[in-house]
Chains A and B, each alone.
Chain A
Amino acid sequence: MKLKGLMDEAYRGKVRGKKRLDERRGEFLLGFEDLVDRLKERPKREEVEALVPQDVESVRDLIISAFPGGRREEAIWGYLTSIAAERLPSPLVVQPRNYAGLELRRGKLILDGGLPASTGVEKSSWRRAHHLGERMSGGRLVVLGGAGDYLGQEMRGGGIVALSCGDYAFRKMAGGWGVVKGNAGNYLAVGASGGRIAVKGGGGARAGWLMRSGRIRIGRDVGDYLGLMMSGGEISAGGRAGCRAGWRMKGGLIVTEGYGPEAGDERVGGRVIRREDL
Chain B
Amino acid sequence: MEGGSSEERIYEIWEQSRANWHRPQLPRPIVASAEEGGFPFKNYRIVVETGALERGDLYLENLFDHLIVHYLFCPRSLEMAGRLALAALEGLDGGSDGLARRMVNIFTDIVVDTFRLERSEEDEDKVLLGWRELARQELSPLDEAVVGFLGKLWGVDLPSRDRPEAEALLSVFSWGVNDRSRWPRQCQQMARVLGDLAPGVLGSGTVPSVEGLGGDARAAPLSGIASEEEPEAYRKALSVLELDGDLVRWYRDQSYSIVIRPAGIAKKSFYPSGLLKWRFSDPPSELDVPYSLSLSPRLIPGVTTYRRSQEWCRMAAGSDRVPDLLVVLDSSGSMDGHRRGTKTHAATLAAFKASIFAHSQGAEVAAISFSDRMAVQEWTRDIAAVERLLVQHLGSRTHIPGQKVLNLARGRPGCLILCITDTHIQNLYSEWEAIQEAAGIGRFVLFSIDEANKNRRVEEALGDLGAVYHINRLDDLLSLVIETAEDAYRPREARWGRQSGESFISSERMGGG
Tell whether A and B belong to one assembly: yes
Q: Which positions 181-195 of chain B face chain A at CB distance < 8 Å? A: 182, 185-186, 188-189, 192
B394 contacts A by Cβ under 8 Å = no
In the complex, what residue of chain A is closest to B189 when comparing beta carbons?
A30
In the complex, what residue of chain B is closest to A11 when comparing beta carbons?
B120
In the complex, what residue of chain A is closest to B124 when comparing beta carbons?
A20
| Of A31-39, A75-83, A136-144, A228-236, the one touching chain B | A31-39
Complex Cα distance, B153 from A15, in Å, reads: 20
In the complex, what residue of chain A is closest to B120 when comparing beta carbons?
A14
The verdict on A21 contacting B154 (CB below 8 Å), with A14-B122, A28-B182, A37-B90 known, is yes
Q: Which positions 165-183 of chain B face chain A at CB distance < 8 Å? A: 168, 171-172, 174-176, 179, 182
CB pair A30 B186 closer than 8 Å: yes
CB pair B186 A21 closer than 8 Å: no
The verdict on A37 contacting B120 (CB below 8 Å), with A24-B175, A28-B175 known, is no
Interface residue tally on B, bucketed by range: 20 to 34
Hey, which chain A residues are within 8 Å of B189, CB to CB? Answer: 30-31, 33-34
Chain B min CB distance to A28 (Å): 6
Complex Cα distance, B155 from A29, in Å, reads: 23
Complex Cα distance, B168 from A30, in Å, reads: 9
Hey, which chain A residues are within 8 Å of B72, CB to CB? Answer: none
CB pair B192 A33 closer than 8 Å: yes
Complex Cα distance, B117 from A271, in Å, reads: 81
CB pair A37 B121 closer than 8 Å: no
Complex Cα distance, B238 from A215, in Å, reads: 63
In the complex, what residue of chain B is closest to A30 when comparing beta carbons?
B189
The verdict on A21 contacting B172 (CB below 8 Å), with A30-B185, A30-B189 known, is no
Complex Cα distance, B231 from A134, in Å, reads: 40
Hey, which chain A residues are within 8 Å of B117, CB to CB? Answer: 20-21
The A interface, classified by DSSP as helix, strand, loop or mixed, is: loop
Complex Cα distance, B124 from A196, in Å, reads: 67
Which residue of the partner chain, among A23, A34, A37, contacts B174 with CB atoms under 8 Å?
A23
Complex Cα distance, B155 from A19, in Å, reads: 13
CB pair B176 A16 closer than 8 Å: no
Chain B min CB distance to A160 (Å): 34
CB pair A16 B121 closer than 8 Å: yes
Q: Which positions 1-52 of chain A face chain B at CB distance < 8 Å? A: 11, 14-16, 19-24, 28, 30-31, 33-34, 37-38
CB pair A31 B153 closer than 8 Å: no
Q: Which positions 92-135 of chain B face chain A at CB distance < 8 Å? A: 114, 117-122, 124
Hey, which chain B residues are within 8 Å of A31, CB to CB? Answer: 168, 171-172, 189
Hey, which chain A residues are within 8 Å of B192, CB to CB? Answer: 33
CB pair B118 A16 closer than 8 Å: yes
Complex Cα distance, B168 from A276, in Å, reads: 66
Complex Cα distance, B122 from A20, in Å, reads: 13
Q: List 28 contacting pairs A-B, 8 Å CB cutoff, sorted by A.
A: A11-B120, A14-B119, A14-B120, A14-B121, A14-B122, A16-B121, A21-B117, A21-B118, A21-B153, A21-B155, A21-B176, A23-B175, A23-B176, A24-B174, A24-B176, A28-B175, A28-B179, A28-B185, A30-B171, A30-B172, A30-B175, A30-B186, A31-B168, A31-B171, A33-B189, A34-B188, A34-B189, A38-B185
Which A positions have Cβ atoms within 8 angstroms of B? 11, 14-16, 19-24, 28, 30-31, 33-34, 37-38
Additional A-B contacts beyond A16-B120, A24-B174, A28-B179 (9; CB < 8 A)? A15-B119, A21-B114, A21-B155, A28-B175, A30-B185, A30-B189, A33-B189, A37-B185, A38-B185
